[in-house]
Every structure is written in structure tokens, then in C-alpha cells.
Amino acid sequence: DRLMRVGEKIVKEGEWISIDGTSGEVYLGKLKAVVPDIKDPWLIKLLRWADEFRRLGVRANADYPRDAQRAREYGAEGIGLCRTEHMFFEPTRLAFFQKMIMTDLPSERREALETLLPFQRDDFLGLFRIMNGLPVIIRLIDPPLHEFLPNISELMHDLADLKIRMQHAPNLAQVDDLLEQIRLKETLLKRARALDESNPMLGMRGVRLGIMIPELTRMQVRAVFEAACIAAGEGVDVHPEIMIPLTSHFHELKRQREVLEAEAKKVMEEQRMAVDYKFGTMIEIPRAALTADQIVAHAQFFSFGTNDLTQTTFGISRDDAEASFLVPYISAGILPDNPFATIDPQGVGELMRIAMEKAKRVQPDLMCGICGEHGGDPASIVLCHTLGLDYVSCSPYRVPIARLAAAHAALREKTAGA
């Protein structure tokens, strides 16, 4: 049996542990968890005071209507990040998305996307209804396509198992069934190998996917605007903001925005409805930050994707670093903090400053924010306030913390200037 040993304590595989998400402390057993009581009158009063002083807006990361509802209850002023790819991982949708990936036939790809369209539209409609009157930033698909397929080693193991089972099949009907399963697994394996990349974090993902498979992001934008038009027809005040991820060159953003905005206008003409919308991009590549004055010509807002910006600035993979050298680096004082928990001010923060300075020289009223885990970190929020960002976006449960931290940053600045 596999087990974990910490001092004299032993935890076996399958046993419960509980983790304090704030302190990182680990407890043996399954502790009772409760949803924070946001309706406590003293907490409400404290947060209202904070809202009077803070300058930074606070939005939430929400992928589903239930997340958006929680975010609104906690005082979020909009959605700063909706990760649309999470919707494709739902069991009822994954098979259709895999079909879209697997086929080389335009007709089959179109059929799969048409099946996915109503799923995405319904999700977005739920978000718009809940966030009535507030902006909703929807990030188009970001991860590489191989993440939606089974792992190569798992597929090989499954194939070997199926072939062994076929040798002992009791009748022809079962042989035929196993042969069909083998054929499907072999097709999946072939496609997974074709999509496999040496460095997927810097491979075919983000805006590159939209350029290479434009029908995919067109479907997403159609779903957004069909949902927005339906909601507007119900009297909902909708403000969709389409965010194109992983831009590194203004030509990428220009080409993708032209294709997607044409689709948005087409939908609004079909629905005989006009809605307020924006197109923007994530700044998560150093080149994008350094050429922000060129990129901003094709964007109505910037959102700093500080997780990937940290990876590309430090030249490290977060998953690999946290599993190997990052903790020893922090313990030895090589790094003062975990840069994935608190924004590195000298590197990542400096790139953010350069990007904002260059972009606002061209478009002074450009809306700039950050999304991801850093948006709920108090030290990172202070940096965002100092840099002059307009908002931070964080997990719904961290919205109250972000509201307080933003007020602390404003009060600290006011006290220092007194």
C-alpha cells in the first residue's frame, strides 16, 4: 500500500486529510467545512467601508452560473475571467469536442461544433442573467488540444488490455465489439500522438488555435452573442467582453479580432439586436508587454495573465518548478517569495508597468486588470494599485479579501502622501 509519512504520522492512500487553504496546514481526517457567512452584519459594514476607500475594482473568475452567483453575493463587480475550455470538459460535451479534434473532414468538424454551440450558449446565458448590468470577460479557448484527449500511455495500456481480452472472447459478437473499441482507441492514439508537443505551454494554444482553427473560436463567439441577444431581449443589461489569449504579436490579434468581430456583427444582424461589447487580449508573453503600444491598436482592454507571464518571464514551468526546485529556492532565500503566489515586482511587475505605460500613451482610457490567483493575493493587489490597474479578478471566495486589500492599498497611499 502507498502511504505518506510526516514525522511520526502516517497517512495511507485513500484516507482523508483536510487542508487549510489560507495557511497551508494539513489536518488528519475529514474536518467539517462551512460556506463563509457573507451576510454577517459586521462583515457587511466593514466591506462597505472598504468599498468607500478603494480605487481598484474587484471582479471574479467564474466559469459557471453557480460561480457567478457566489461572486455576486460576495460583492464582485463583474466577471474578470470565464475560462470557456472548462465547459468542454463536462462529460456530456467532451465526446463532441473530441470528435471535432479527431476529424479532418470540414463537414464532421462543423457538425461537432454545431452540437457544442447550444451548450456554450446556455452557459453564457446563465452568466449574463446573473451578472445583469456588469461586465463579463469571456476568454476564448486557451489550452492545447491534446489536453482534451486521453493520455498517450493510458491509451497504449487500454489497447494492450483490449487485445488481451479479444484473445479470450467467448463469441464472435464480443470479438466484433472489442475490434470496434480497438479501432476507436487506435484512432485516438494516432491523433494524440499527432497533437503531442515537446513544450505544449508554448505550443499550439491560445490565439494560435483560433488562427489555425477559426471555426472553433467563431463558434464560441457566436454562442456568446446569441446568448447576449437572448438575455438583452429579456431585459438583461449585458456587457460581453471577448478576451483573446496568449497574443505575442499585434498581427495575431488583428487577424483574429477581424474574424471574430465579423461573426459577432453577423449574429447581431440575424437577431436584430445590438449589444454593448468589447474585444481585448491577455498580456502574458514578455513580447506582448514590450510591444503593448502596437497591440493596443487592436484591443479595447488588457488583462494581465500573471500566471503565464510569470512562467515566461522566469523561464520556468510552474508544475515542474513547484514539484522540484521552487520550495528549496524559497527556503534558501534564492527567491523571496513564491512568484506564482505573489507577483514578482522587479520582473513581472516591471513588464506590467512598461505595458501599461506604452499602451496608455496610445489609448489613455484603456481598461487594464489582472486575472488568476494573483488577483486574490493582498501583496499583489497592493502592486496592482501602485501600477494604476483598474481592477483585479480572483476566485469568488477571495472577493471579500480583495476588497479589503484594495482599501488597504488606497489608505496606505493616502497616509504616505499626507
Residue 418: the pLDDT is 62
Residue 332: the pLDDT is 97
pTM recorded for the entire structure: 0.89
- Do 86 and 140 touch, CB atoms closer than 8 A? no
Q: Which of 218-227, 334-343, 408-417 has the lowest mean pLDDT?
A: 408-417
408: Cα separation from own chain's centroid: 27
Assign 82 a pLDDT band (cuts: 50, 70, 90): very high
pLDDT at 169 over 90: no
- The secondary structure of residue 392, as a DSSP letter, is E
3-class DSSP assignment, residue 18: strand
Residue 23: the pLDDT is 84
Please report how the helices 172-195 and 91-102 are oriented relative to each other, as an axis angle in degrees rounded to 10. Answer: 70
Average pLDDT over residues 218-233: 98
Task: Say how far apart CA 57 and CA 375 lie, in whole Å.
Answer: 11
Residue 65 has φ and ψ, to the nearest 5°, of -55, -35
Task: Say how far apart CA 399 and CA 381 lie, in whole Å.
Answer: 12
Q: Which of 178-187, 234-243, 279-288, 302-311 has the lowest mean pLDDT?
A: 178-187
- The secondary structure of residue 141, as a DSSP letter, is P
Average pLDDT over residues 331-346: 97
Residue 392: the pLDDT is 99
H-run or E-run covering 320? helix 318-323
Task: Say how far apart CA 240 and CA 125 lie, in whole Å.
Answer: 11
Residue 196: the pLDDT is 87
**Tens-digit pLDDT profile for residues 8-30:** 899 999 999 999 987 889 999 99
Q: How far apart are the first and last CA of the chain?
A: 63
* CB-facing half-sphere around the CA of 189: CA atoms within 13 A: 15
Please, what are the domains in the chain? 1-33 (no CATH), 37-81+120-143+215-417 (3.20.20.60)
CA distances from 175 to 34, 156, 162, 179 (A): 51, 19, 10, 6
Handedness of CA 318, 322, 323, 324 (dihedral sign): positive
Nearest Cα to 145, choosing from 220, 210, 224, 90?
210
Task: Say how far apart CA 230 and CA 240 lie, in whole Å.
Answer: 13
Grid-cell match 453557480, residue found: 66
Q: What is the residue type of 356? A: M
Residue 36: the pLDDT is 76
Q: Average per-residue pLDDT in the chain?
A: 94
The residues with which 244 forms a beta bridge, in sequence order, are 281
C-alpha torsion 88→90→93→94, nearest 10: 70
- The secondary structure of residue 390, as a DSSP letter, is S
pLDDT at 102 over 90: no
Task: Say how far apart CA 218 and CA 342 lie, in whole Å.
Answer: 35
Residues in CB range of 128: below 8 A, 6 or more apart: 136, 227, 228, 231, 236, 238, 240
**Tens-digit pLDDT profile for residues 349-376:** 999 999 999 999 999 999 999 998 999 9
- Do 206 and 245 touch, CB atoms closer than 8 A? yes
Q: What is the residue type of 372? A: G
